[in-house]
Amino acid sequence: MALVDITKQIAQEMILSATKEPEPPPRPAAAPDAAGPVVVGQIQAMQKALKDDEELMVWCHAGGDKIRVMEIFLPSPQVVVLTGVDAGRAMTRVVSGAAALQLVTKTAKVPAGSKPVRVALVVPKSKD
């Protein structure tokens, strides 16, 4: 008799588990904080606050060079590519992890009749 009860219970559990909705797949581990969008957001906010006769100078010290940044490209939230010129006016690029990046910014007045330079911010469009 006990064998019949166990068999009924196993059959009942199998039917219930077959009709039950499958559990959602486990969530992927949370991505580390993406510093790239934060850096771009800060530069954008600083430039937005400038007056018409001001420019934001952005500098990066990398590998012994001091680079005036003219463009910030964000190929991914964790990687930043800076394009600018060094002291010898040679075009220079820095590829860095966004979390390790240190930039120095300074607001400066532009000479009368000159157009202020703006740092170009390039962020790929989302695929959504």
Q: Residue 101: inside a domain, yes or no?
A: yes
Whether the per-residue pLDDT at 109 is higher than 90: the answer is yes
Q: Residue 4: inside a domain, yes or no?
A: no
| Domain span holding position 63 | 35-122
Q: Residue 86: inside a domain, yes or no?
A: yes
Q: Residue 5: inside a domain, yes or no?
A: no
Q: What is the value of pTM for the model shown?
A: 0.70
Check residue 62 and give its pLDDT. Answer: 87
Q: Residue 19: inside a domain, yes or no?
A: no
Q: Residue 13: inside a domain, yes or no?
A: no
Q: Residue 11: inside a domain, yes or no?
A: no
Q: Residue 30: inside a domain, yes or no?
A: no
Whether the per-residue pLDDT at 120 is higher than 70: the answer is yes
Residue 30 banded pLDDT, cuts 50, 70, 90 = very low
Q: CB within 8 A of 33, min separation 6: which ones? A: 99
pLDDT in tens, 48-78: 999 989 999 999 998 888 999 999 999 999 9
Number of structural domains (the chain) is 1
